[in-house]
Amino acid sequence: MKWSLYIGKLSGIKIFIHWTFLLLIGWISFMNYSMSKDIKQVLISVLFILSVFACIILHEIGHALVAQYFHYKTKDITLLPIGGMARMDELPEKPKEELLVSIAGPVINLLIAAIIYPLMHWFSDVPSLFTTMFVTGENFLFTLYIVNIGLALFNLLPAFPMDGGRIFRAGLSFFMDRLTATNVAVKTGQVMATLFFIVGIFYNPILTVISIFIFLFAQTENDAVRAKYILSNYAVRDIMSKDVNSLSPNDTISDAMKSVLEKNADHFLILENNTVIGTINKKQILKALNTGGVDSTVRSYMNDKVRFLSSDTPMDKIYSEQYFSENAIFPVIENDLLVGIINVSMMDEFIVLKSAKKKLPGLFTKKINSVKT
Ligand SMILES: [Zn+2]
């Protein structure tokens, strides 16, 4: 993630802190100092925030280590003011694996709470409730204990992207297919988000913001699983375009624009001595035109990193590995011959077409019937 500070490695996983987290520490120091005028109070509150975030990192490490056990690699963990985020190459999909990886985070928070519990009785009198609005030396461990219980319970709420949403889906997946399980889990999460939203309006604006985030994320998760499900029956050759247009690297941008208009083409491979050395799309050509590159060569605007795909590569593999950036164009190869190209918009159109057909079978049959009569 951009604007993140590398702080170290744990079990081979890089850990970053987002710069906004430093703002949070600054804000808490300022608030504590302006209210107490006491440097010791500021230090305790900063130490407390660092302890909370150490617990959040441990929560993420919990997910990462169980994932590692099932051979899923975690790229990195980033600490944001709203919590931790672990990025994995691929998320586990087998119900048992998803269940154990998701539950590991909240379990870590409960374990931390279990370790703090005897310590807080040992070191200090446990306050009956929050008697002061500051974290002090006396209530430090007690507050950290409450925060860990809170983190575990909050993350166990059955709503994506919370761990509870994944645990719920994994549980359902033992009894139904993953697509249906995701649907049920997403709908449940959205009902919860709606309740949060209403409660939040009256009592807590932060809850309202969280509810919107949950609602949108649940929908994204649903779309992603459905897209992958649709793609799982197809290979690159089913979706690629056989319409391959090419340009020479020495053509000018204005030549390229002519080709766009004459051939009504959106994507081009750049060929030099019959070898693909780059790609360019209509959007990039238009951008080059607008930035005064009319007489420049295509070579200076093309993507020069070309990745070839085999025509029999399964589409769901490509989808989960997130090959596609907006401008990427992949030449497709079969028996060492160039047979087509594929890009993200072809994949998106295919998904839309297939899901429309699935949703509206009645409409298609009706049309045929009306021709007959
Ligand atoms: Zn988690």
CA of 197 to the centre of ligand 1 (A): 22
pLDDT of residue 362: 45
Show the 3-state SS of the chain: CCCEEEEEEECCEEEEEEHHHHHHHHHHHHHHHHHHCCHHHHHHHHHHHHHHHHHHHHHHHHHHHHHHHCCCCEEEEEEECCEEEEEECCCCCCHHHHHHHHHHHHHHHHHHHHHHHHHHHHHCCCCCCCCCCCCCCCCHHHHHHHHHHHHHHHHCCCCCCCHHHHHHHHHHHCCCCHHHHHHHHHHHHHHHHHHHHHHHHHHCHHHHHHHHHHHHHHHHHHHHHHHHHHHCCCEHHHHCECCCCEECCCCEHHHHHHHHHHHCCCEEEEEECCEEEEEEEHHHHHHHHHCCCCCCEHHHCCECCCCCEECCCEHHHHHHHCCCCCCCEEEEEECCEEEEEEEHHHHHHHHHHHHHHHHCHHHHHHHHHHHHC
Per-residue model confidence as pLDDT tens digits over 187-197 = 998 898 899 89
Average pLDDT over residues 270-295: 88
Q: What is the mean pLDDT of the chain?
A: 83
Residue 98 CA to ligand 1 center (angstroms) comes to 12
Q: pLDDT tens-digit profile of 8-60?
A: 888 788 888 888 778 878 888 888 788 777 788 888 888 988 898 889 989 99
Q: Which domains are present in the chain?
A: 1-156 (no CATH), 158-231 (no CATH), 236-344 (3.10.580.10)
Lowest mean pLDDT of 27-31, 78-82, 288-292, name the range: 78-82
CA of 105 to the centre of ligand 1 (A): 5
Ligand 1 center to residue 274 CA distance, Å?
50
Kindly give the distance from the C-alpha atom of residue 102 to the centroid of ligand 1, in angstroms, as a whole number.
6
> Which pTM was predicted?
0.70
In the predicted structure, residue 366 carries a pLDDT above the cut 60: no
Q: How far is the CA of 187 from the centre of ligand 1 (A)?
A: 20
